[in-house]
Structure 1
Amino acid sequence: MPAADIVKVACVAIVALVIVSPLILLAVASLKPDRFQILADMGSFRAFWVSQPTLDNYRQIVTLDGPLPMGRYLLNSVVILSLTVLGGILVNSTAAFVLAWGRLPGRALILALMIGLYIVPQESIVLPLLNIVIKLGLADTFTAQILPWLASPLYIFLLYQFFIQIPHELYDAAVIDGASPFRIYWSVFLPMSAPALATVAILLGIDTWNQYLWPLMITQSNWARPISVGIASYFGSDSIYWNYAMASSVLMMAPVLLFYIFFQRWFVSSLIGSAVKG
């Protein structure tokens, strides 16, 4: 191998190691017996090594009936993630299809308003949204954590951009065959849009999984609280339970990694297709 290629490989390996080192430290720390051992090893290379690994931290946090039932929080997060992604794909793709192929007056104005809505920070609407949710009696429920985030201007615009590039001949052929607009959307456009839908699923899934401010405001009980809020409970004013926080963080990280691995093939295809079309 030429010296230049060796240098390139070494540089890539160093960058990759720097990127994954926090994840390695997190996983290793979760296997240490207690928080005192984690604090003693911090600041040295011992933080990346555990001599006597144990799963006691995981066994302590996954109980469903404890004071901080991380198993329940993780289950809540998975349910919220699944329903939000499935509902979000349906709602955003339907809106994008109507916007791209429906006979809507003022389409340019609608697109401009959507882009304008996207730049509005989420933090600026949480208080009015909280007031609405409380008046509807939806506080401390899964519905309150799912419903407000199903539709997004970003994902509607992304899917609109994909739908508008589909040849008009396909739509005309389906109309000639007697297909209804919904049948065209469901049987023709959605199967062709797997890369774009995977992109929306990944972005929406990560955004939903990392939600903290809104669940913190809207949940009061373990029944509906997600794991992102539950982990913060280990960081008290008197002491920080690093061993439980590390193990809970690994539990929180694992599902979203699996989620990305499942959809990454379509996600990469969408990025490559966008680059080629651009």
Structure 2
Amino acid sequence: MTDPTLSALDLPAFNPGCVWLVGAGPGDPGLLTLLALHALRQADHIVYDALVDDRILGLANPAAVKEFAGKRGGRPSPAQEDISLRLVELGRQGLRVLRLKAGDPFVFGRGGEEALALVAAGLPFRVVPGITAGLAGPAYAGIPATHRTANQAVILVTGQSAGDGPDWAALAATRAPLILYMAWRGLGGIAQALQDGGLPPDTAVAVICDATTPRQRVLTSTLGACARDLGASDLAPPAIIVIGAIAELRGTLNWLGVADA
């Protein structure tokens, strides 16, 4: 499907037999990149994640086959190896294959694993970065990832890992703000580990649910109380969790006007 507006930008061709690993952004369709939109309009087969907004899927080539391959913590999900093998299978059929991921495929999106599978299969691929929820979610909540008087670094970290998990004491020692992905179920233990590592219990925390969507809600708390406050709320994942001084700025910079949960 040709879009005259996009064709004027001289965007790269989406060739048959190629797999594009594309970031759909954090939820708000307005944050989709032009290259991602170009891929949606050209794709023959779209393999998409659970958190991709339906409005973004609605921008796809009407003739494209849409295949759900969502992974959600605590729920039955396709194995990552099976998803990677499926991309290889579709690419070998000579299709324009779009692997559509929420956020950015290379930021806790397992895009690297899929890219390695494509390399092993000898299939051409392209990576289209997307805006990651770890940056966009705080921004929509009035929390800058960096602020000159608050921090000189910020750490993006997963709340779950295929290995032993993050060294929370070492992260606490940096005193840099932390932006946590997939940390909902483990927040209590994480908060305690960070306090054991030296972070004060009154360290600011913000939990941003359904970031950048019309359903966005934000809970503000402290490191010592966040697990209890979250358990007493009616909030639900997906969520991005911000820990550190930058979270304090929400009270002043809440440009979206979303009330605290």
* TM-score for both structures, normalised by structure 1: 0.23
Greater strand share, structure number: 2
The structure that is helix-richer by fraction is 1
Considering Cα pairs closer than 8 Å and 6+ residues apart, tell me whether 1 or 2 has the greater RCO.
1
